Amino acid sequence: MTHAIAPRSGILDIAPYIGGASHADGVAEIVKLSSNENPWGPPASAVAALERAARTLNRYPSTDHLALRTALGEVHDLDPGRIVCGAGSDEIIALLCQAYSGPGTEVLHTRHGFSMYKISALAAGATPVDVPETDRRVDVDALLGAMGKATRLVFVTNPGNPTGTMLTPDELVRLADGLPADALLVLDGAYAEYADDGYDGGAALVTERENVVMTRTFSKAYGLGGLRVGWAYAAPDVIDVLNRVRGPFNLGDLQLAAAEAALHDRDFVTRTVSETKRLRGWLAEALAALGIPSDPSSANYVLARLADQAEAEACEAHLRAEGLLVRKVAGYGLPECLRITIGDEAACRRVADNIARFR
């Protein structure tokens, strides 16, 4: 595509992000299992908070997000001074790339990793480096081997998306130990709530090291994907840098109020995460009984491995015709796989029944 006024070099290398269908597409009777949303959200407590916050919308919102950061600090036992909030973790990823990478530098991401790392790196003028994974798992040795003097950021999703697999605490330490000077390791914990109890998203490692950043989101376990709130926990220097580059009003009052309410609604998060974990096990077993393997998942989806790309595409089309949207992940280097978000019990049963009929 040519443009009358050309953007800076690299921008037209960005393939626009193609998301799953949105509820706003207006398709009735669709069960959407393609974007890893919480099927039981949004929490009623967050909706009530939105209504209250709406009464003062004539005013600009907080610029320091202090109330939300304080609440995050309480719930996660972290220093609120080391937290920055953004419009989804997408914004945090973009800000990290803007502030720490640029022309002549490299941003590492894993082959089956989230596409925004590459998009944000290109938008910042940096060179994204796609590092292979092994058996749908982040390959620590490959990442360490790809790091060099030009490396500024290393993005690792843990649990992985779309794989659902986890790095061990020891592997995370090895990655942090191997970072070149001037590089940050970013642990994207978008799905951390769905991992085994006790996984802190990498927070303890961030507390120990000034070159590790943790990103988190309200879009998954908190049931607020439409709200756009994410946050990062990092060393004070990194927080200072991100606060300099972000817009002062990057989060509106509605976002701040609803996220804070959801954070305090521990019952919603605990209940929906535990139901997701139960149904995740159920769906993986149902697929295995049909001869379709999946890796043990630590997230709110399973990655079903069909025979090959043709079968994965046919299966996705069959499910779509039945009103069930799941995600093809060929673009993430996994052409034979389908990523299926864990919906409610009825949705999981419909998926299993329809795949059985397809097979």
Q: Would you tell me which residues interact with ligand PMP (CB under 6 A)?
A: 88-90, 114, 157, 161, 188, 190, 217, 219, 225, 230
| Distance of closest approach, residue 19 Cβ to ligand PMP, in angstroms | 8
- Token pair recorded at residue 11: 């921008």
Could you give the CA distance from residue 46 to residue 100 in angstroms, rounded to a whole number? 34
Cβ closest to ligand PMP, residue 114 vs residue 268: 114
Cβ closest to ligand PMP, residue 185 vs residue 286: 185
| Distance of closest approach, residue 108 Cβ to ligand PMP, in angstroms | 15
- Token pair recorded at residue 209: 């090291």
| Distance of closest approach, residue 171 Cβ to ligand PMP, in angstroms | 17
DSSP element (H, E) containing 127: strand 127-131
Cβ closest to ligand PMP, residue 100 vs residue 355: 100
Please provide residue 340's backbone torsions phi and psi, each rounded to the nearest 5 degrees: -115, 115
Amino acid at 249: F
Convert 294-331 to b/e letters by CB count within 10 Å (16 or more is b).
Answer: bbebbbbbbbbbbeeeebbbebbeebeebebbbbbbee
Cβ closest to ligand PMP, residue 90 vs residue 193: 90
What is the number of the residue whose Cβ is closest to ligand PMP?
Answer: 88
| Distance of closest approach, residue 195 Cβ to ligand PMP, in angstroms | 13
| Distance of closest approach, residue 188 Cβ to ligand PMP, in angstroms | 5
Q: 46: closest CA among 219, 265, 253, 221? A: 265
Cβ closest to ligand PMP, residue 41 vs residue 230: 230
